Amino acid sequence: MPPTSVAKLRTWDTVGTPLSVSAYLARSHKYLLLLPLALFLSVFFVMPLAWLFRVSFYAHGGASGFGVSQVRYYIPNTFTFHNYALFFTDRYFRHTLFFTMELALIVTVVTMALAYPFAYYIYKATPKLKLLLLVLVILPKLSNMLVLIYGLQILLGNAGIINQLLSVLGVVASPVPLVHNLFSVVLGKVLLIIPYTILVITATLHTLDPALADASKGMGATPARTFFEITLPLSLPGTLVALLITMIWALGAFVSPSILGNPDLHTLAVEVPKQTFENVNWAMGSAVAFVMLSLVFVLVLIYNWLHHSRLPWHMRSGR
Amino acid sequence: MRQVGRLIFHLFALGMVAYLLLPIVIAVLVSFTPSRFIEIPTTFSLKWYREFLEDTRWMNGFWNSVYVSGFTIVISFVVGLTAALSFARYELKWRTGLYTLALTPVFTPAVILGMSLLAFSHKLGLWGTYLSIAIAHSLWAYPLVFMVLKVSLEGLDPSIEEAARGMGARPWRTFYEIILPLIAPSVLVGILFSFIISVNEFVMALFLGTVETETLPRIIWPTLRYTLTPLVAAASGVLMLLTVVVLLLAAWLMNLRKLVEFSRG
């Protein structure tokens, strides 16, 4: 009963009539009901991130596994900038950092280039086909990401179906290396993200008023002109959200580079568990994770700036 | 010219469907091979599924996945439902900000969540418990429960609840007997989402799982990296089967509800 009860509570408040017991309870419920969310978010999301930041300044425990009886993940009560200094001076880490950003950019461009036309195709499809396509889009997200990557690996491998097909057709003499290179890493990561991107853009397109496109066509504009001058600009705000989500997840690429990549194609996300579990250096792992978090934060800031700045599409969509 | 453009568009869509579907289809097909090698089988065999069922490590992983998803459903349901109730019926200060904050964990890369929760749950002494993994999965699951239930609660006719109150029902009873049955389909969808997220989530489980609590995807991981056998495909098949069974169960429950409503008139 949202609107009426809120209205009542509000008038009572302003008029100053004493609240009845049940109304008082209802008013405190408001905060009581928010309590689980507030507790869960602060204890298991905000506090762990704050702790991550602290751990990233700890010194390395130094347990390499040989002759060390007690494994220490880090040395408590220390404070050092060593982890960050190493990160920004070491060539290996710098290379990983730049490759992560490069990969995120490539993955985002490919995802958007594939997702937007496909979302538009779904938008234009008949209701029955639309439902079928939406189910197909969600399907990869209902299955395990490892299953998807495994399937891709089989598909792209030297003895995989694509290479077999190519050699049967006589296109190539020896198998084309399709896996363990940038191509397969991008293909894998795009597959893991694109269902969300397609869904967000499809949802955006469905919020547009179809009368606008009809009017444009009615006034004699070609379908292409209608698309580029009406539909595309109007869908840009939602597409920008899809772009942000895509880029954030692309920055966190982990499974795809690990399985479909090679050591030259490792990202920060691959480095975090490597430092943490293989080198037993939780402090360094935390530092790398915190650098990732900062990158995400910068993206959100850029998005906010774009969202609030008066770019052409905002004027056209009447904001 | 326009015909050609349309044909290219259809072909593009077909290619996208193939891209989205082929990896899953291939992985499932391979799981039915009788051979030791990864290949599309010409004869059907359940050999690798039998091997999966007879291996205690894989079976332990299966049960660990089930336990963790159970905890995840409970946590994300409690957090998601209370938050949705609060958002749907009260005017809140900083509503938009709170809403965005509530959804933030979904958009945080799993590696960051995994690393921060590893360090934190180690500090709290939670590392190595089912609960620590379930908490991590809930960070991704509760926002979905919250969104689905919020939409459903906002769509309710306020007069129904007022009628119940007017007839003297206490708030708790009104909730239990009037609101809950009305939002039952969304509750089911929320539970389903939580389950699917938890059973399939891998990265956070990699950070937080230990030998005692490792979930199925976490056991698949090293096998996928180092020893490729069709057993991985069978394990993937089991995961998919688990998801499909729960989906069908939900569909069946929904229909059952409709039947009950129908028989009541």
Q: Count Cβ atoms below 10 Å from residue A10 Cβ, excluding itself.
A: 11
Does residue A17 register a pLDDT over 70? no
Residue A10 is predicted with a pLDDT of 43
Work out the pLDDT band at A88, boundaries 50, 70, 90. Answer: very high
Does residue A67 register a pLDDT over 90? no
Does residue A57 register a pLDDT over 80? yes
Enclosing H/E stretch for A92:
helix A91-124
Q: Residue A152: which residues within 8 A CB-CB, separation 6 or more?
A: A184, A187, A188, A191, A260, B23
Does residue A13 register a pLDDT over 50? no
Give me the amino acid identity at A34: L
Give the mean model confidence (pLDDT) for residues B163-173: 83
Percent of chain A exceeding pLDDT 70 equals 85
What is the least distance, in Å, from the CA of B1 to any CA of chain A?
13
pLDDT tens digits, one per residue of B146-166: 999 999 999 888 888 888 888
Residues 163-202 of A with CB under 8 A from B: 191, 194-195
Residue A169 is predicted with a pLDDT of 86
Buried b or exposed e, range B130-145, using 16+ CB within 10 angstroms: bbbbbbbbbbbbbbbb
Give the mean model confidence (pLDDT) for residues A126-151: 89
Residue A167 is predicted with a pLDDT of 84
Substitution target in B58, B118, B225 with the highest count of A β-carbons within 10 Å is B118
Residue B116 is predicted with a pLDDT of 96
Determine, for residues A151 and B111 on separate chains, whether the beta-carbon distance falls below 8 Å: no
For every residue of B231-245, DSSP letters joined together read HHHHHHHHHHHHHHH
**Using CA of residue B165, residue B171, residue B175, residue B177, what is the dihedral sign?**
negative
Chain B environment of A145 (Cβ under 8 Å): 200, 202
* Interface ipTM: 0.89
Determine, for residues A144 and B83 on separate chains, whether the beta-carbon distance falls below 8 Å: no
Closest CA to B72 of B121, B142, B128: B142
Give the mean model confidence (pLDDT) for residues A201-216: 90
Q: What pTM did the predictor assign?
A: 0.88
Chain A environment of B25 (Cβ under 8 Å): 151
Residue B27 is predicted with a pLDDT of 87
Q: For tokens 């179809």, name the residue.
A: A210
pLDDT tens digits, one per residue of A31-49: 788 999 999 999 999 999 9
pLDDT tens digits, one per residue of B225-239: 777 788 888 888 888
Q: Count Cβ atoms below 10 Å from residue B124 Cβ, excluding itself.
A: 16
Give the mean model confidence (pLDDT) for residues A61-83: 73
> At A107, is the secondary structure helix, strand, or coil?
helix
Of B26, B112, B117, which has the smallest distance from its Cβ to A293's Cβ?
A: B112
Give me the amino acid identity at B32: F
Token pair for A310: 């008066």
Residue A66 is predicted with a pLDDT of 52
Buried b or exposed e, range A11-49, using 16+ CB within 10 angstroms: ebeeeeeeeeeebeebeebbeebbebbbebbeebbeebb
Chain B environment of A151 (Cβ under 8 Å): 22-27
Residue B262 is predicted with a pLDDT of 67
Percent of chain B exceeding pLDDT 90 equals 51
Chain A environment of B118 (Cβ under 8 Å): 276, 282
Give the mean model confidence (pLDDT) for residues A60-87: 76
Residue of A nearest to B81 (CA): A33
Of B23, B120, B202, which has the smallest distance from its Cβ to A51's Cβ?
A: B120
More confident residue, A217 or A310: A217
pLDDT tens digits, one per residue of B208-229: 999 999 999 999 998 887 777 8
Residue B2 is predicted with a pLDDT of 76
Work out the pLDDT band at A104, boundaries 50, 70, 90. Answer: very high
Residue of B nearest to A198 (CA): B16
Does residue A311 register a pLDDT over 70? no
**Using CA of residue A182, residue A188, residue A192, residue A197, what is the dihedral sign?**
positive
What is the least distance, in Å, from the CA of B91 to any CA of chain A?
7
Mean pLDDT, chain A, rounded, equals: 85
